[in-house]
Each structure stands twice: as C-alpha cells, then as structure tokens.
Amino acid sequence: MQVSLNHEAAGGAAPDAAEARLLAPLLALMSQSQQGFALFDEHDRLQWANPVFREILGLRPDEFPSWPDLMRLGWMREKGTQVVTDDFEHWLRSAQLRRGKLPFRTIETSLMDGRWVMTTETTAPNGWMLCVISDISELGRDWRVLRQERDQARKAAFSDELTGLSNRRYLLENLRRKLGPHKASAAAVVLLDLDHFKQVNDVHGHEVGDVVLKHFAGLLQAEVGRQELAGRLGGEEFLLVWDIGDTSLLRARMDRLLERVRQSSPAYQGGVLRYTCSAGVAQALPGESEAQLIRRADAALYQAKQQGRDRWVLADATAVMPERRGSRSQRATPD
C-alpha cells in the first residue's frame, strides 16, 4: 500500500529521512490492524481511516465526511454508534460540544450491531485528531452498564437539557482555562440574546419558544470550531467563545452569523417564524478574568439592545464594567 501525508497541513514539520521511511510501514500496519484508526483535520473532516474504522462506522472507501456528517450517515444507515434519542440533531449538538476539547478523551459506547467499543481521541494543539476504536465486547454486561451510566451522568452535568449545547458551568470552566496565565489569550467572547423573545412565548406559547431556542442553538453550533465553545447561559441568553485575535476576522464572522439568523426561520405547526438576535462582543485582554471579559461583552450587548436590536457591538477594551448582582434580565435590560 502506498500512502502519503501532508505534514504541512497536519501542522507538523516535514519528516527527516529516517521518519519518512517509517511512515509507509506505520500506515500499512494501521491498515491491517483489528482496531479502527482514523485521522481528522482541524475542521473535523475525515482525512484517513483504516478498513476496520470504516466497517464499524458504515463508511464506504471513497467517503471522507466531516464528523457530524459521519454520525448522520450512520444514523440513516443504521450503522455505527447506537443513539437512543427522539431528536438526533439535539444529540449531535450535545456530542459535538465535548469533542476535541481535551488533549485526550476515552468514550465507551454500544454499536447498532450489539458490539461494545472504546474510542480514544487524541487531539493536537492545532486541532488534528487521531481516533482509535477497540472492540471491548468481552467486558461483563453489568460493568458496561455502570460505565455507560457514568458517562451519561457526565454528559448531563455539562449539557443544557433543551438545546444540547454546553451549559453555564461547562462554558465558564472552559473559558477560565483558556484565559489562564499560561494559555493563549487570542479569544473573543460573544454574548447573544434573542430579540423580543418574551413576545414569542406570549403570542405563540412556550413550545414554539423552545423550537426557536433549539433552532438558534443549531445555528450557533455551526459557527464554532473544534477548540471553540457554544453554550446557553440561561433563558434566551447564549455565549460563544471564539479563538480569534484579528478584529477584521471577528467582524466578518459576526456579520455572517447575524445574517444567517435573519435568513433562517424555524418551522412549527403554525407555520414559520422569523427572529433576530443582538450581541455584545469582547476580545480578551492580557490577564483578564472570565468575569471581567463577560461583563464587557454584557455592556456591549446592552448597547446593541439600546441601539435598536438585530445588531452587534464590539466592547471598548478600556471600559470594564463593575460587577453587578443579578442576571441581565433582573437589571431591566431591554428584551
């Protein structure tokens, strides 16, 4: 088997002669292994997979989907991971929020065909990921059930039940790590609030309101990379954490996001409903805490609401708001 790798794309230096001689034998052994091996790029798109990985996930040799599309293909083909849910996209958002956020992670799950597998994810600083799947079906059933219940409890502790995004606790813990003294400070926080959301609940009912919240969550999930975060703080308030230091790129992403919201409309039994959102954006300053960063984004969001909604405002780097008690809704912020 002849194999070539793009080391520059993978974020590594070109191999020396000794390393180059090892690449083909290494990939040949991985191709023949009884474990599943796969390599995903920083955009979470499959770049290489051995036959066992493809067999487990139900992929054809010519398919190189993104991870979300890989999961969707398995769901439609009844292959790969067994997903017990009434809302597959909700499950997928919840699964994505934890994928690639740690340098190493182990997951155990059952397959559609009844096998029990352990998957390890090793993520490089540049976002590339190596996935290894091992069949552990011989483990006792009681032991497997206990471990699955443990994993489900972990998921529930960090996920928002309605939208499947990260919850407030998970968001703040991860933002704190990003802003630590030895971490990269090229981060931007986007605090978003749905415009006139109370009217949606009052006019159409809370069930339609939940449809809007889940629809908006899906739009936000599509706007974050592997090292970034999307979550719900509570009510109609959401938070994005982007790895952006360039202001022009930040402006382009925000304009694109708000335009996507304007052009999208969730369907419900009564028809379709259009909505907008407002946002406050703050770029992290050296030594700034997560509370200070969010307060500056909060101030910018308040300005966006005051200026007419359906817009975003970039926080002044010199204007750090004093900490105030209560949520934004308790501070009489315009809806």
Residue that wins the pLDDT comparison between 5 and 184: 184
Predicted local distance difference test score (pLDDT) of residue 108:
86
Q: How does residue 154 score in pLDDT terms, banded at 50, 70 and 90?
A: low
Q: Which tokens hold the place of 321?
A: 């708001």
Residues 147 and 222 in one domain: no
At 205, the pLDDT band (50, 70, 90 cuts) reads very high
Give the per-residue pLDDT at 111: 93
Position 109 in a domain: yes
Give residue 138's pLDDT. Answer: 79
pLDDT in tens, 211-257: 999 999 999 998 998 888 999 999 999 999 999 888 999 999 999 99
Is residue 123 in a domain?
Answer: yes
Does 13 reside within a domain? no
CATH of the domain at 203: 3.30.70.270
Whether residues 115 and 151 fall in one domain: yes
- The reply to whether 40 falls in a domain is yes
Q: 61-118, pLDDT tens digit by residue?
A: 999 999 999 999 999 999 999 998 888 988 888 888 778 888 899 988 889 998 989 9
Residue type present at position 2: Q
Range of the domain at 321: 168-331
**68, 286, 333: which is closest to 191 by C-alpha?**
333
How many Cα atoms sit within 13 Å of 251 on the Cβ side? Answer: 4
Residue 15 lies in a domain: no
Is 228 one of the catalytic residues? no
Decide if 281 contacts 297 (C-beta within 8 A): yes
Task: Give domain status of residue 87, yes or no.
Answer: yes
Last-in-domain residue among 158, 185, 214: 158
Provide the domain count of the chain.
2
Query: Is the CA virtual torsion 7, 11, 14, 16 positive or negative?
Result: negative
Q: Are residues 153 and 172 in the same domain?
A: no
Question: How much is the pLDDT for 73?
Answer: 95
pLDDT at residue 329 in the model: 39
| 205 within some domain | yes
Domain identity same for 153 and 253: no
State residue 14's pLDDT score.
58
The answer to whether position 194 is within a domain reads yes
Catalytic residue among 236, 237, 288, 290: 236
The token pair at 276 is: 């907008």
How far apart are alpha carbons 190 and 279 in whole angstroms? 6
